[in-house]
Amino acid sequence: MSKFIFVTGGVVSSLGKGLAASALAAILQARGFKVRLRKLDPYLNVDPGTMSPYQHGEVFVTDDGAEADLDLGHYERFTGVSAKKTDSVTTGKIYASVLTKERRGDYLGATVQVVPHIIDEIKAFITNDITDEDFVICEIGGTVGDIESLPFLEAIRQLGNDLNRDNVLYIHVTLLPYIAAAGEIKTKPTQHSVKELLSVGIQPDILLCRADRPIPEEARRKLGLFCNVKAERVIEASDLSSIYEAPLVYHEHGLDKEVCKYFKIDAPAPDLSTWQEIVRRIHSPEGMVTIAIVGKYVQLLDAYKSIIQAFCHAGIANNVKVNLKWIDAEQADIIQEQLRGVQGILVPGGFGGRGVNGKLAAIKFARENSIPYFGICFGMQLAVLETVRNVLGIKEANSTELDPTTKEPVIGLMSEWMDGDTLQKRQVNGDLGGTMRLGAYDCKLLPDSKVARVYGAPLISERHRHRYEVNTAYLKQIETTGLRFVGMSPEGDLPEVVEHADHPWFIGVQFHPEFKSRPFSPHPLFVSFVQAALERFLEKDNNK
């Protein structure tokens, strides 16, 4: 049967549980095992889709249309295994499911309680939809000691008995702070965190200790003694210059070795050559390009986590360092000044009208100065809007998202569309999650387009997360400007990709290509965009 590994966090949040789970999965893959990763979040939202990026960072989207925590992006980037709806759950989703069953009468008149009903629902989520995976790694969100996490901790405690303790391993990620005045690393916070875990009946089997310096042997021995963990299972998790060093560093410190020893598995040594080459390229680039990202969440870069990583992957593919210049879209009056000297401009997805004028100014600057431009989701819609206003001269052109009463609705809420054989419908006042096109959809590309050459295929599948579409009534008029609609839905009713025919590299896509980029399989659009930026850099350099 599958072996289950539960990853919890203690002392403080943001210790990198998701990264630790992802790196361990990557090493186990390199040993020849099949892995699956899951995230259990303790908040009451059904999913993060309605949460501000300032609250929770990026919303990651799966092929089957789940809006999930950004850690699922880490899982996919490190393993290449596409996540599913069944790999992400929240307290809100658990309670919604239990209450639906209660209203249906599924509990036959029983008093519905946290124990056993909520706990059983969590356990069912953890163990369902498992096929032939060797390891299922489950990350528990939050910090041990938080009241919200208690049901999840109780569920994984019970699973230790239900699945047999030999099939379950608990990893606890903690912080070892360095106190400069004392001149030493302190173990007491970790001891207290483990005590919290013990109070709910969980004895961690491995401690993964975050520290900004090497952990002395004496500290490891002390932690092993007071936390009832073998000293060799107190694993150092040092700060890294690149997250993609994690599989190499964790293997070097023996994490995968101790996991295999715990489960009594005799496995071949991992082949980490791919990760070694990725790290080598990151640390030894042969050039650099500067890309401007013009957005409205630039104060919290986690809002653009997948875009940042996609640029890292494209840099690896082009053997260059991609320097990202973050520009606040709300500073519309100085946008053009800030854009001078960049080799490429990207406008990412987003919702609402804040920062729109700054984004439009950036798009116009890219179009008029032949700077490579990449528009994603809202960035594509605004590229269309900028052309309609400034080239076609329809100054009243707008999106109904920004002005519901506009007389020129170039962008609007499409009321219905086909998803395979299913008719999907939108309502303006419907649930926010229910009004979006979510998940993977096919797109047909024109054979003579730049995008088709980039992909090397006439039909692609990409992930979507948006409510509004380009109004097809304007397509012919828009194409007279040279802005071509080179990608459409298979039925031909939803514009997916635009590109300027007379521009070196000007592409807008309605989908989110960043979600499918991997360090070992970079997304072709990001690779091509960085290559175009590099060519512009070399051209400018030669003209000096």
The residue from 138, 312, 377, 443 that is catalytic is 377
Written as six digits, the tokens of 173 are 């990620």
Find, among 202, 34, 55, 56, the residue nearest to 131 by Cα.
34
Q: Cβ distance 228 to 237 under 8 Å? A: no
Q: Give me the amino acid identity at 171.
A: I
| Measured CA angle at 514 (ends 238, 534), to 5 deg | 90
Query: Which residue among the candidates 154, 401, 514, 523 is catalytic per the annotation?
Result: 514
Q: Is 251 a catalytic residue?
A: no
- Is 377 one of the annotated active-site residues of the chain? yes
Among all chains, which residue has been given the structure tokens 């994603």?
A: 376
Residues 6 or more apart whose CB falls under 8 angstroms from that of 267 comprise 31, 32, 33, 260
Give just the sign of the alpha carbon dihedral 368, 370, 376, 377: positive
Taking the C-alpha atoms of residue 541 and residue 544, their distance in angstroms, rounded to an integer, is 6
Tokens of 376: 């994603």
Q: How far is CA 452 from CA 392, 419, 457, in A?
A: 26, 23, 6
Omega prior to 458 cis, within 30 of 0: no
**Annotated catalytic residue, options 172, 466, 512, 523:** 512
DSSP class of residue 122 equals H
Q: Is residue 514 annotated as part of the catalytic site, yes or no? A: yes
Burial 511-520 (b: 16+ CB within 10 A, else e): bbbbbbbbbe
Q: What angle (nearest 5°) sits at the alpha carbon of residue 153, between those of residues 8 and 139?
A: 35
Q: How far apart are CA 310 and CA 462, in angstroms?
A: 14
Question: So which residues are the catalytic ones?
Answer: 377, 512, 514
